[in-house]
Chains A and B, each alone.
Chain A
Amino acid sequence: AQSVTQLGSHVSVSEGALVLLRCNYSSSVPPYLFWYVQYPNQGLQLLLKYTTGATLVKGINGFEAEFKKSETSFHLTKPSAHMSDAAEYFCAVKGNNNDMRFGAGTRLTVKP
């Protein structure tokens, strides 16, 4: 079975600073990895996903993530934080079936 661990339930950065949200996964098969963002009282919106091919994945809103098999990681980054990036971020993993497992989430706060 697949699982993910998101390191840090709360991350705070200053506007314009680097955003780094950490995700480590466990999977017995080659994983498919996803990052979703959730704004208060809303559903989840897909930021980016890794399936096969290039290990550096670019998503919406300037976010990107790099799949590192040797480290079993899929960390999410953005070079410069914006106030509108404040939200909850979820990492998720799937195997060959459609069983999506989510992490507990990381709340990103952006300080002016």
Chain B
Amino acid sequence: EAEVAQSPRYKITEKSQAVAFWCDPISGHATLYWYRQILGQGPELLVQFQDESVVDDSQLPKDRFSAERLKGVDSTLKIQPAELGDSAMYLCASSPLGDSGTDTQYFGPGTRLTVL
């Protein structure tokens, strides 16, 4: 069964350093999402791509976060500089179409970031 791949699974960094996370969605899925999940809370959307275009980045802290999906396939989420409050699980998800409420999102295993 096809899965969403993410790396690394765990990342420990010091504040003010740069970090990057990678996501490879299920093959053929047009829509890709990055979520942030703070411990004890539900996931919150950071950015949504439709193919290579950003559809929604209203909740992305653009002063330090950036995301790209250059060829409309895999994606990278970057934080520079990292802050203590960025410690969280970063989840990537993909869905086949993205333009329908019935579209199911499939999640990867996540990257757990710890900022010291």
Contact = CB atoms under 8 A, between A and B. Distances in A.
Contact of A44 (B91, B99, B101): B91
B102 A100 contact: no
Contacts, number: 62
A34 B107 CA distance: 13
Contacts of A104: 40-42
B107 A100 contact: no
Interface in B14-47: 31, 40-45
Contact of A96 (B93, B101, B107, B112): B101
Category for how many chain B residues contact A:
20 to 34
Given A51-B101, A98-B100, A99-B56, A46 B106 contact: yes
A94 B9 CA distance: 28
A102 B43 contact: yes
Given A32-B101, A99-B56, 6 more contacts: A90-B43, A94-B101, A98-B101, A100-B105, A102-B42, A105-B41
